[in-house]
A and B are shown apart, each in its own frame.
Chain A
Amino acid sequence: MRVQCLQENLARALSLVSRAVAPRTATLPVLTHVLLATDNGRLKVAATNLEVGVVYWIGAKVESDGAITVPARTLSELVTLLPADKVDLELNVRTQTLRVQCGRTDTTIKGIDAQEFPIIPSPGEQPLARISGSALKKLISQVVFAAATDESRPALTGVLTKLDGERIIMVATDGFRLSKREEKLLEAITSDAPVTMLIPAKALQEVSRVIESEEDVVFIHLTASHGQAMFQTPRANVVAQLIDQKFPPWEAIVPQRYETRVTINAAEMLKACRQASIFARESADMVRLGIHVGEDLEPGKVTVSARADETGENCSELEAITSGKSMEIGFNVRYLIEGISAADSPQVVMDLIQPRSPAVLRAIGDEHYLHIIMPMNLPGSNPT
């Protein structure tokens, strides 16, 4: 293999695939490497940790074909320090070493045979669906954060992704809150039946990272074995192993009615929550929302309060549009902050039933986002 490419392109490729590189404690040493391979006149840079694989192609002058894997960290650190110039890559097949030449720098790095690198499948001819990059990015950002980071219920570490006709729906939950968003695809899916996949949340974060431009169109593929999902952008391909587990039936959890409805300014609410969070640390991040429905023509209000024996108390009062009955309810303030931030809307609506029932958050003017948070309670206090 003899290839010439630009330092900035190589550096960008290495940075984009870097999070798919396995940690140094990995059982297979080759997973801590990146694959460099010529591919139809381009240079392919790839990494995988057996959960998500990221492939990125950069333009290159290919003099002869070949492939090698080299330690990801070593190569990244080297390339970032190289001058913004042409980089010559040359493989010595016999010694399995890669020679990297740039300006006056001449380096050889010991590699591992590319044969050992896991095979990352290539996208097929016909995608399952197409979606605009910006829509997919928003979809991911509004859902992925709600997935569980703890492995005790593996299904919850994934994001349920359903493609149905012209719609794509993503749902994630950690058992205490749930986030859902749907988006339109560019056209109906090429499969007759709806397709449902459970994609690791970490893999979707990588998808979000490789969408480089709002104008990018992302092709979604499912491998023939139905074991992997692929998200293909003009220059990258993210391959996610699917989670082979059952996602809980989430639709049954979404409340169908409410007793109290509050519409508040998201920015003010977030500020009040952040203040309260300082005082909520000692009580497991619990804040109380007091919802006061105005009598007749009086405006309604919402109080956000937290108290700590050691630190003190904090209470903010916000104006709000309220309807239904007044209520006091407790929440984990982190869930409130994350759910409201993700709404990405100046105004949010909160629908409540009673202090022990799930609360529903929506964004005004964007019916595609739905967020559910379970409340917190003090067992000593009397539910009303």
Chain B
Amino acid sequence: MSWESVIGHTWATQRLRHALARGTLGQSLLFIGPPQVGKTTLALTLAEALLAQDARGQALIAQRKHPDLLIVEPEGANATISIERVRELQHALQLTPMESRHRVAILADAQALSLGAMNALLKTLEEPASAAVLILTATSADALLPTILSRCQVLPMRPLPRGQIEAGLQARGASPAQAALLAALAQGRVGWALQAWRDAATLQARLQAINDLLRLLSEGLTARFAYAEQLAKAGDAHIRAVLQTWQLVWRDVTRAAIGCVVQAGAPSYGETVRRVAEGVSPETAAACLQRMVQTEVFITQNANARLALDVLLITLPRLSYGVEPLSFNASESEEHRSATTVPAGGK
């Protein structure tokens, strides 16, 4: 898990490496970026640089088992980080390290901290023990107390360009076709791409959402309402995931409809997008994209999911022709899964 093996995020890794080299690394860091963009991976890489002295140390960090590394993540039914977990972390951080010169704590998804837990954390951020390094990750700065933000060195992490993800996957042994398809569908989340590469079901779920959309485009209202009814039952998290996937595809469709070249290395994906775009005017495509975004907002605001989906699907353009579903080569994926060890990406 060397710095070189981090996919993308060159700016962030360089800043961290410089800070390490010059001894200006803060004791409290905050990595902000969307889910699965690589925050925890970067935090682990930094932890390795701080803690690991030999191969054993590196292995223990990769397995998240290093005695001087503490990882706290949201847990329980409502995925929160309780004040008790923060207290444990504080207890560990004020002790001298066991094997290294530092004790590193990674607090993943800090936006899941309860208010009490955030307040408790302030003390550690204010007066960290001399050996302690606390790395927070969060999907957004908005959900954190301003007092937490002001005490951390903040490192923003953006979604990666498709090319970087594609290259990263290939470097890890994915076939060019596979890497291209995964990168096209990853929304810039390298963690998702790695996970989907390892786990066919993850990729399959996203393909399913896309193929459902492709199918509905040439279907009438009866089929669309039936789909809405079914999807509405799947729960808000799933609905939002589907809508995000649709937005991903539809952005490319809109681009293609306007006449832009779609920067997706995967020929099958690019072909699908172009095929859809042929039957949609740029205005319709843009309006529809807008509605997909809006529908997701409605869902987060607790709208009646079924009603919202009904409306979205009523306004989805209808194609007079069918579009071939997207597929991927399962055997190829299988082959490469066991090729090399794949570092953990996101959660």
Direct contact of A and B (CB under 8 A): yes
Which residue on chain B has the smallest CB distance to residue A227?
A: B96
- The stretch among A85-93, A115-123, A335-343 that forms the contact with chain B is A115-123
In B102-161, which residues have CB < 8 Å from any A CB? Answer: 129-132
Closest approach, in angstroms, between the C-beta of B68 and any C-beta of chain A? Answer: 8
Do A200 and B95 touch (CB < 8 A)? yes
Give the docked Cα–Cα distance between A133 and B95 (Å): 26
Q: Answer yes or no: A310 CB below 8 A from chain B CBs.
A: no
- The stretch among B85-93, B201-209, B275-283, B325-333 that forms the contact with chain A is B85-93
Render B59-94 as a binary contact track against A, CB cut-off 8 A, 1 for contact: 110010101001100000000000000010011101
Q: Answer yes or no: B99 CB below 8 A from chain A CBs.
A: yes
Q: Answer yes or no: A220 CB below 8 A from chain B CBs.
A: no
Q: Answer yes or no: B98 CB below 8 A from chain A CBs.
A: yes
Do A27 and B70 touch (CB < 8 A)? yes
- The stretch among A210-218, A236-244, A250-258, A276-284 that forms the contact with chain B is A236-244
Q: Which chain A positions have C-beta within 8 A of B132?
A: 244
Q: Which chain A positions have C-beta within 8 A of B90?
A: 151, 154
Give the docked Cα–Cα distance between A241 and B131 (Å): 12
Give the docked Cα–Cα distance between A50 and B130 (Å): 17
Q: Which chain A positions have C-beta within 8 A of B215?
A: none
Q: Which chain B positions have C-beta within 8 A of A154?
A: 90-91, 94
Closest approach, in angstroms, between the C-beta of B106 and any C-beta of chain A? Answer: 11
Chain B residues bordering chain A, tally (CB within 8 A): 23
Render A221-248 as a binary contact track against B, CB cut-off 8 A, 1 for contact: 0000111100000000000011111000
Do B95 and A244 touch (CB < 8 A)? yes
Do B98 and A119 touch (CB < 8 A)? yes
Checking A28, A226, A228, A245 against B94 with a beta-carbon cut-off of 8 angstroms, the contacting residue is A245
Do A118 and B67 touch (CB < 8 A)? yes
Closest approach, in angstroms, between the C-beta of B82 and any C-beta of chain A? Answer: 13
Q: Answer yes or no: B22 CB below 8 A from chain A CBs.
A: no
Closest approach, in angstroms, between the C-beta of A177 and any C-beta of chain B? Answer: 23
Checking A115, A200, A244 against B129 with a beta-carbon cut-off of 8 angstroms, the contacting residue is A244
Give the docked Cα–Cα distance between A50 and B88 (Å): 12
Q: Which chain B positions have C-beta within 8 A of A48?
A: 67, 98
Q: Answer yes or no: A129 CB below 8 A from chain B CBs.
A: no
Q: Which chain A positions have C-beta within 8 A of B63?
A: 116
Q: Which chain A positions have C-beta within 8 A of B317?
A: none
Q: Answer yes or no: B336 CB below 8 A from chain A CBs.
A: no
Do B95 and A119 touch (CB < 8 A)? no
- Evaluate whether A243 and B95 lie within 8 angstroms (CB atoms) in the complex, with A27-B70, A28-B65 already known: yes
Q: Which chain A positions have C-beta within 8 A of B99?
A: 118-119
Do B56 and A227 touch (CB < 8 A)? no
Q: Answer yes or no: A51 CB below 8 A from chain B CBs.
A: yes
Do B98 and A118 touch (CB < 8 A)? yes
Checking A115, A118, A119, A151 against B91 with a beta-carbon cut-off of 8 angstroms, the contacting residue is A151
Closest approach, in angstroms, between the C-beta of A31 and any C-beta of chain B? Answer: 8
Q: Answer yes or no: A30 CB below 8 A from chain B CBs.
A: yes
Q: Answer yes or no: B101 CB below 8 A from chain A CBs.
A: yes
Q: Which chain B positions have C-beta within 8 A of A50?
A: 67, 92, 95, 98
In the A-B complex, the 4 residue pairs with the closest CB atoms: A227-B96, A244-B129, A118-B67, A241-B95
Residues in B lying within 8 Å of A, measured CB to CB:
56, 59-60, 63, 65, 67, 70-71, 87, 90-92, 94-99, 101, 129-132
The 12 sampled A-B contact pairs (Cβ below 8 Å) are A28-B65, A48-B67, A50-B92, A115-B56, A115-B59, A118-B98, A151-B87, A151-B91, A225-B101, A241-B95, A243-B95, A244-B129
* A-B contact sample (9 more), CB < 8 A, given A28-B67, A225-B97: A48-B98, A50-B92, A115-B56, A116-B63, A118-B67, A119-B67, A154-B94, A225-B96, A244-B131
